[in-house]
């Protein structure tokens, strides 16, 4: 789970693309896919032959933090070419095992294109937004955990309000909203991964 923040400097903003999509927009999956495809193809045309790993971070023990594992569960039921899905409700990727997945990425037989997925907390007017961005995500930042950043690209869904009692806020987040957002994100990823 990460805390949604603006880029830390003007240089970060210029060097990394970042798009926000309203998760309730009927065209949200297409917008997510378009943004991700644009980012990936702009950086590397060779990505079309590369194996992709979708690293869905979070815990099934907290409704707000279950966004990543829900996306992973939805994606794992699809047959996506050249795509590994790590992090589902059955086998979540979380603070206690994230390092082992990073080691798995490093030890893989070929370089992987990593797309990380996680929940985040933000301002009240940002709840329900899905951020698609270049660069790694910082898991656990929203709840003051020091975990290694991961991903060449990332998707982050703002599930609730940040700034106070984050663990309780995550646990009291409505599962319905998290499920809806996870379905939209999984659909957007599916469109993008089938296109590139």
Range of the domain at 120: 2-195
Length of the chain: 196
Residues with Cβ within 8 Å of 133's Cβ and at least 6 positions away in sequence, in order, are: 16, 17, 18, 19, 39, 153, 154, 155, 156
Spatial contact of 87 and 69, defined as CB atoms under 8 Å apart: yes
Spatial contact of 139 and 19, defined as CB atoms under 8 Å apart: no
Percentage of the chain beyond pLDDT 70 is: 86
- Residue 139: CATH number of its domain: 3.40.50.1450
DSSP 8: S
Percentage of the chain beyond pLDDT 90 is: 69
pLDDT computed for residue 30 by the predictor: 98
Q: Give the residue among 195, 194, 181 at the shortest CA–CA distance from 74.
A: 181
Domain count for the chain, please give it. 1
What is the tens place of the pLDDT at every residue in 45-77? 555 578 999 999 999 999 999 999 999 999 999
The whole-angstrom distance between residue 109's C-alpha and the CA centroid of its chain comes to 24
3-state secondary structure of 110: coil
pLDDT computed for residue 6 by the predictor: 36
- Residue ranges of the chain whose pLDDT lies below 70: 1-15, 44-48, 141-144, 163-164
Residues with Cβ within 8 Å of 99's Cβ and at least 6 positions away in sequence, in order, are: 148
Helix (H) or strand (E) holding 156: strand 153-161
Spatial contact of 155 and 39, defined as CB atoms under 8 Å apart: no
pLDDT computed for residue 11 by the predictor: 36
C-alpha span between 179 and 18 (Å, rounded): 23
pLDDT computed for residue 139 by the predictor: 83
pLDDT computed for residue 44 by the predictor: 67
């Amino acid at each position: 789970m990460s805390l949604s923040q603006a880029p830390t400097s003007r240089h970060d903003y210029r060097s990394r693309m970042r798009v926000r999509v309203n998760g309730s927009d009927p065209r949200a999956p297409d917008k997510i896919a378009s943004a991700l495809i644009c980012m990936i193809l702009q950086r590397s045309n060779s990505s079309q032959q590369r194996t992709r790993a979708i690293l869905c971070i979070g815990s099934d023990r907290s409704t707000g933090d279950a966004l990543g594992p829900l996306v992973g569960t939805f994606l794992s039921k699809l047959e996506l070419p050249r795509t590994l899905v790590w992090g589902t409700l059955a086998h979540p990727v979380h603070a206690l095992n994230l390092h082992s997945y990073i080691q798995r990425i490093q030890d893989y037989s070929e370089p992987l294109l990593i797309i990380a997925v996680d929940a985040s907390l933000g301002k009240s007017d940002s709840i329900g937004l899905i951020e698609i961005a270049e660069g790694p995500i910082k898991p656990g930042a929203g709840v003051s955990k020091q975990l290694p950043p991961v991903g060449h690209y990332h998707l982050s869904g703002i599930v609730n309000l940040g700034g106070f009692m984050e663990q309780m806020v995550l646990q009291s987040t409505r599962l319905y909203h998290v499920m809806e957002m996870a379905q939209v994100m999984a659909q957007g990823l599916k469109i993008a991964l089938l296109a590139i």
